[in-house]
């Protein structure tokens, strides 16, 4: 997973994930965040929005078509209040 490690309150960034092998089929990506008081994330697109100053962990989970988890990866983000 990749994306900036820092952002401001009110800012949005898009996190990205690479699935290997490149020709993998029948998978979906689900995005989540561990503290929605700090940041929120669109579960389908990976668009992260800073809500309040602090640190949050975003997680991307790859799932098979039957919903079983294949792999997941975390990404830490620090949200700061603009000066």
Using the predicted structure, report yes or no on whether residue 67 has a pLDDT greater than 90: no
pTM value is 0.85
The answer to whether the CB of 22 falls within 8 A of the CB of 43 is: no
- pLDDT average, residue stretch 10-29: 84
Domains of the chain, residue spans = 6-80
The neighbour count for residue 73, using CB atoms within 10 Å, is 14
- pLDDT average, residue stretch 3-13: 95
Strand 39-41 vs strand 69-80: parallel, antiparallel, or unpaired? unpaired
The answer to whether the CB of 58 falls within 8 A of the CB of 74 is: yes
Residue 43's pLDDT is: 96
Residue written as tokens 């900036």?
A: 4
Q: Between 42 and 17, whose confidence is greater? A: 42
Cis peptide before 21 (omega within 30 of 0): yes
Q: What CATH number matches the domain at 6-80, 3.90.1150.10, 3.40.50.10070, 2.60.40.1080, 1.10.390.10?
A: 2.60.40.1080
């Amino acid at each position: 997973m990749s994306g900036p490690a820092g952002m401001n309150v009110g800012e949005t960034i898009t996190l990205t994930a690479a699935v290997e092998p490149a020709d993998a089929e029948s998978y979906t990506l689900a995005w989540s965040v561990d503290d929605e008081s700090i940041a929120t994330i669109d579960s389908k697109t990976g668009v992260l929005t800073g809500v309040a100053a602090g640190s949050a962990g975003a997680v991307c989970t790859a799932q098979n078509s039957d919903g079983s988890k294949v792999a997941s990866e975390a990404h830490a983000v620090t949200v700061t209040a603009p000066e």
